[in-house]
Amino acid sequence: MERLDKVYYYNRKGALALTVNEYPYFMVQKTGEFKDHLWEYDYQFGVYKSFRRGKKSYPFSIVIASDDLKDYDALCDIFDEDVLAGEPGYFMINGWRLDCMVLQATHEFYGTRDFVIKFEALATNPVWTRQQTHTYNGTGSGGSSGEDLGRNYSFRDDILGRGYDYGYDEADSHYAILNMPGSDNGYELIIYGPAINPTIYINNKPIRVNVTISEGEKLRIVSNGATKTIDIIQPGNITESAFVYRDKENSPFLTLGKSNEITYGALRFELTTIERRSEPAWI
């Protein structure tokens, strides 16, 4: 039997509002045009450049296998609520997310209530994303001898101490490997206080902010496409920008590739990878 992928729609508040390909709603073409994608580009002096994802319109059609009129009305109300609020909801397929607003519906009647409803979703960001959170508590195998191995600083020109301040001793360092498909992936990093000038390394590049975070506070760094933010989150969910305190010599706003080595000292943090893809993966 052929599998029909479930298509989920979550409203702007993150609540599940609709499940498609589950009674009573079914898509006419399995996943509509959600599997289709488009790259736009500029052409100048015989050179193709500035490639960017350009598909913003996603048509899809739904049939309703129900005699309950509430099921018919729901398809209008669910999408209208987010549009009227001016905030996108999002579709999820196999864990992949597309932020969008459903702006158009066309009805094709074949009987009293037997019809196909053709919708059109407008993507507010024409890329599918998938997130996975990894938690680290600042400990690892081998422990710490407390001995200063002279490696708080990287080597540059083969001379110790002329490189970048790692922020922790080699004896206290730990590492992990994160693998994911594709490239141009983003991340959200949350570091828990207390910490002074907290630093982790991704592929030997420092992610550092020159701030002090107290017990109960969190430092959040987001590097996801055009979204680049640094905030301190205080108790009570009070957020204060710390963008100005970023390491200006080594930008904390990196992209992640297929294989990524995470190196860190005695820090408690969560690293959420944000995979970016032109279409949702089949698996």
User: Is the four-CA dihedral 83, 81, 131, 122 of positive or negative sign?
Assistant: negative
What H or E segment, with its residue span, contains residue 155?
strand 153-156
Residues 103, 170, single domain; the answer is no
Could you tell me if 65 and 42 lie in one domain?
yes
Q: Which range marks the domain in which residue 251 is found? A: 132-277
Same domain for 174 and 227: yes
Same domain, 116 and 234: no
For the domain that residue 232 is a member of, what is the CATH number? 2.60.120.880
Sign of the CA dihedral with 81 first, then 84, 87, and 91 last = positive
Q: What is the pLDDT of residues 13-49, one digit of tens each?
A: 999 999 999 999 998 876 668 989 999 999 999 999 9
Q: How does the average pLDDT of the chain come out, rounded?
A: 85
- Tokens (6 digits) for 77: 């109300």
Residues 120 and 250 in one domain: no
Closest CA to 9 of 75, 63, 66: 75
State the pTM of this model.
Answer: 0.78
- Tell me the sheet residues that pair with 10: 16, 90
Q: 18, 91 in Cβ contact below 8 A?
A: no
Mean per-residue pLDDT, 96-114: 86
Total domains in the fold of the chain = 2
Confidence category of residue 162, pLDDT binned at 50, 70, 90: very low
Helices (H), the chain: 69-85
**Does residue 235 sit in the same domain as residue 249?**
yes
What is the rounded CA–CA span in Å between residue 108 and residue 124? Answer: 27
The per-residue pLDDT for range 42-76, each reduced to its tens digit, is: 999 999 999 999 999 999 999 998 888 899 999 99
pLDDT tens-digit map of 75-91: 999 999 999 999 999 99
CB atoms within 10 A of CB 191: 25
Together in a domain, 148 and 108: no
Asked if residue 210 and residue 92 are part of one domain, the reply reads: no
Q: How far apart are CA 156 and CA 8, in angstroms?
A: 51
DSSP reduced 3-state for 63: strand
- The CA distances from residue 25 to 12, 63, 214, 241, in Å, are 21, 6, 50, 43
Specify the CATH number for the domain of residue 55. 2.40.30
Instruction: Give domain status of residue 261, yes or no.
Output: yes
- Give how far Cα 250 sits from Cα of 86, 207, 210, 238, 269, Å: 37, 8, 12, 27, 20
For residue 14, tell me if it sits in a domain: yes
In a domain, 1, yes or no: no
Indicate whether 116 and 199 sit together in one domain: no
